[in-house]
């Protein structure tokens, strides 16, 4: 006993010393308590995690071994409030890792993965702790809990049960091994995609090969080449900001093919960054894990806690939207083939032709050229348009903060307040690509919203990240139409996090079922090209002229253009995801053969490549959307129906509807998602609004 006491005192002394020296562990002496990004160095991360993990383990042991009878307060609430220091450290590390990582941070992440997995399993598989949770759960009807408390109790019990607490000891031991290996595989997959993206460079030395490419795209490619030490050339990479203009405008068919294939074959080159073996092993482990819990396949195991509930429901849903989407895509392909025939008689339309001829067709049908629009979509103006929209709908205001600690000079910080000046939260925006940033766009929490035991409401710190065009020597950052939608989309996620008014952080903000979480983000997309909203942000970056009515009319007339392609590309990725996660065998397989069979079974058009091919499909192999990519379309039905609720009033800013939608956002995951939507709308969502929006 004395030896244990001495060791315990030594650990406390070590932790105190470490905390005093480590900016990740000290109280944040910064404006609004944001992380001291400017003081954090790589060497701070691992010591901080070691201390935070030890502290979290001690908190869990105290709850599990509490001699008092289990109650909602000393068990369920205590669990939700445990791990505060770990959340503080992880909120810095993982956000920086994704947005501005490096090899050293990747190595730290690999070292951390089994530690975090062990901690998580040590909580979920702690039988003494689970018995306390189970006792409270069994007494739930007698405890006089409010709706949010009941939701927390139910979700806590389900989390334990669905993650192995009821398994026998031998299966618990195997589950721990599976979880640790899956964590490392996820990191490996993501790192491979980043490495493949950064490794590929295509230099063009003859400007004639860039015929048709806009001057702005050529200028960006020239700057990339100069930075790479090749000032005589133009550099293109598999980053969307680099190759998308080539696909849309460049007359050079071989260059279009080269860059599209470079993008779509990442992680599929039989080299050190190849992801095929990572996928095979991941799926073997996911199947084994699902079957440990008595499910036939990973999809049914994963979907049990979603709105859809099972793979059969998702399959039926996807089929209902796939059929009209594919039919529309076939019509579009026939139109594009006719255009191709004029240029290259006898040639068949290929995936690297679609964007190019779709752009020609859009110009022919609607006289709409995306390059004509870009001067009106200057990044800071578009962001301000999104901010102003939130002000009009929800009465919140945005103020840029100078001199705030950031992890990269390109990051900007905003204070968000209510009309009365009360703090809503802090928003970071980080919009430009860099070598250490993973592809895509996302929202994340840096600090969660919650109300502590003393009744203090801790407001959230949220981040929006993108990979938009960087400013060049001659132009500011000018966005494409897709970029504008992406900015509004991720800002919708940010609002979901910022407006949160939950007591418990595990139910706050975006902590909702996965097939509900995309509703707020996709809802905001409905506004970005509405005439009333466009005129608030679409100003020509050189003249200050507001976007003319004739351009707005063209945008709206072309609103359903190419939707067969858009929906088919999206839905094929959803079906591929489901095909992977309906696997019920742990036998090895050939990833390329599997993907090809999936495309064949869905009758995928050869002229379209699935949005995410397997070997760079981060959504399902790294970021938590396994058996869940369908949720973008599921939520599209919800968001179209929600926007229709505003339209039916004759006012897209209707204050009564806005207040109802704000209430939906504020509640996060504190209540059942279906009930939340029914309360907002007065009924279930009707898919006709989504189909109408697509033009089907």
Catalytic residues: 490
Phi, psi angle pair for 602, to nearest 5°: -90, 5
Nearest to 160 by CA among 193, 132, 186, 182: 132
Nearest to 513 by CA among 646, 671, 335, 652: 671
- DSSP notation for 616-677: G-HHHHTSS-TTTTTHHHHHHHHHHHHHHHHHTTT-TT-HHHHHHHHHHHHHTTSS-HHHHH
48/54 Cα distance (integer angstroms): 10
With beta carbons less than 8 A apart as the criterion, state whether 468 and 432 touch. Answer: yes
**Strands, E assignment, 258-371:** none
501/368 Cα distance (integer angstroms): 43
343/565 Cα distance (integer angstroms): 22
61/41 Cα distance (integer angstroms): 31
613/194 Cα distance (integer angstroms): 15
With beta carbons less than 8 A apart as the criterion, state whether 267 and 273 touch. Answer: yes
> Burial, 21: exposed, middle or buried (Cβ in 10 Å; 0-12, 13-18, 19+)?
exposed
Strand partners, 429: 412, 464
- DSSP notation for 396-455: -EEEEESS---SSTT-EEEEEE-TTS-EEEEEEEE-S--TTSPSS-EEEEEE--EE-TTS
195/438 Cα distance (integer angstroms): 10
Nearest to 464 by CA among 448, 446, 436, 443: 443
Helical spans, DSSP H, in 36-146: 42-64, 78-81, 84-100, 103-124, 127-138
Across 163-172, b (16+ Cβ under 10 Å) vs e yields bbbebeeeeb
**Strands, E assignment, 221-315:** 234-236
511/670 Cα distance (integer angstroms): 9
- Residues whose CB is less than 8 angstroms from the CB of residue 248 and which lie 6 or more positions away in sequence, other chains included: 355, 356, 359, 370
115/120 Cα distance (integer angstroms): 9
C-alpha torsion 620→621→624→626, nearest 10: 40
With beta carbons less than 8 A apart as the criterion, state whether 520 and 493 touch. Answer: yes
H or E element: which one contains 613?
A: none
């Amino acid at each position: 006993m004395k030896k244990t006491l001495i060791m315990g005192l030594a650990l406390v002394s070590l932790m105190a010393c470490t905390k005093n020296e480590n900016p990740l562990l000290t109280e944040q002496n910064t404006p609004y308590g944001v992380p001291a990004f400017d003081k954090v160095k790589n060497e701070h991360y691992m010591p901080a995690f070691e201390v935070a993990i030890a502290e979290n383990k001690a908190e869990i042991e105290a709850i599990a071994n509490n001699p008092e009878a289990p109650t909602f307060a000393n068990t369920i609430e205590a669990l939700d409030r445990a791990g505060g220091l770990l959340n503080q450290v992880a909120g810095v590390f993982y956000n920086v890792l994704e947005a501005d990582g490096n090899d050293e941070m990747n190595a730290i992440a690999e070292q951390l993965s089994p530690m975090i997995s062990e901690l998580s399993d040590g909580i979920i598989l702690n039988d003494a702790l689970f018995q306390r949770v189970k006792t409270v759960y069994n007494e739930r009807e007698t405890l006089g809990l409010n709706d949010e408390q009941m939701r927390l109790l139910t979700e806590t019990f389900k989390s334990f049960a669905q993650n192995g607490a009821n398994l026998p000891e031998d299966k618990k031991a195997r589950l721990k091994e599976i979880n640790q290996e899956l964590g490392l595989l996820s990191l490996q997959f993501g790192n491979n995609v980043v490495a493949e993206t950064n490794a590929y460079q295509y230099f063009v030395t003859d400007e004639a090969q860039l015929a048709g490419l806009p001057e702005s795209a050529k200028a960006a490619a020239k700057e990339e080449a100069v930075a790479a030490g090749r000032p005589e050339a133009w550099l293109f990479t598999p980053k969307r900001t680099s190759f998308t203009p080539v696909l849309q405008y460049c007359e050079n068919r071989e260059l279009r093919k080269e860059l599209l294939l470079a993008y779509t074959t990442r992680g599929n080159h039989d080299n050190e960054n190849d992801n095929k073996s990572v996928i095979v092993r991941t799926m073997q482990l996911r199947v084994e894990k699902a079957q440990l819990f008595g499910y036939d396949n990973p999809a049914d195991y994963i979907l049990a806690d979603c709105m859809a509930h099972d793979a059969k429901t998702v399959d039926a849903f996807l089929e209902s939207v796939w059929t009209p989407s594919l039919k529309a895509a076939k019509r579009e392909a026939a139109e594009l083939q006719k255009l191709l025939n004029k240029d290259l008689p006898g040639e068949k339309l290929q995936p690297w032709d679609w964007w190019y001829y779709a752009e020609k067709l859009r110009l022919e049908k609607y006289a709409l050229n995306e390059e004509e629009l870009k001067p009106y979509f200057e990044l800071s103006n578009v962001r301000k348009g999104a901010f102003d929209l939130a002000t009009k709908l929800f009465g919140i205001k945005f103020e840029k903060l100078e001199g705030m600690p950031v992890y990269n000079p390109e990051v900007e910080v905003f204070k968000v307040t209510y009309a009365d000046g009360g703090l809503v939260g802090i928003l970071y925006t980080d919009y430009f690509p860099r070598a250490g940033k993973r592809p895509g766009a996302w929202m994340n929490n840096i600090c969660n919203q919650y109300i502590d035991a003393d009744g203090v409401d801790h407001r959230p710190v949220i981040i929006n990240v993108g990979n938009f065009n960087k400013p060049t020597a001659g132009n500011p950052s000018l966005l494409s139409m897709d970029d504008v939608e992406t900015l509004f989309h991720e800002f919708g996620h940010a609002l979901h996090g910022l407006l949160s008014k939950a007591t418990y952080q595990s139910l706050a903000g975006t902590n909702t079922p996965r097939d509900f979480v995309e509703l707020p983000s996709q809802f905001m997309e409905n506004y970005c090209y509405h005439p009333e909203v466009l005129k608030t942000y679409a100003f020509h970056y050189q003249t200050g002229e507001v976007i003319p009515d004739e351009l707005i009319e063209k945008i709206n007339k072309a609103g359903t253009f190419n939707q067969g392609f858009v929906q088919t590309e999206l839905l094929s990725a959803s079906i591929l995801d489901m095909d992977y996660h309906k696997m019920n065998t742990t036998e090895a397989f050939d990833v390329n053969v599997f993907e090809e069979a999936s495309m064949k079974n869905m009758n995928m058009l050869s002229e379209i490549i699935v949005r995410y091919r397997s070997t760079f499909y981060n959504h399902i192999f790294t970021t938590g959307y396994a058996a869940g990519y369908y949720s973008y379309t599921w939520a599209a039905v919800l968001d179209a129906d929600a926007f229709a609720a505003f339209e039916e009033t004759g006012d897209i800013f209707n204050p009564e509807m806005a207040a109802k939608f704000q209430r939906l956002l504020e509640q996060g995951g504190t209540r059942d998602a279906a009930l939340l939507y029914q309360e907002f709308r007065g009924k279930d969502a009707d898919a006709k609004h989504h189909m109408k929006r697509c033009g089907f």
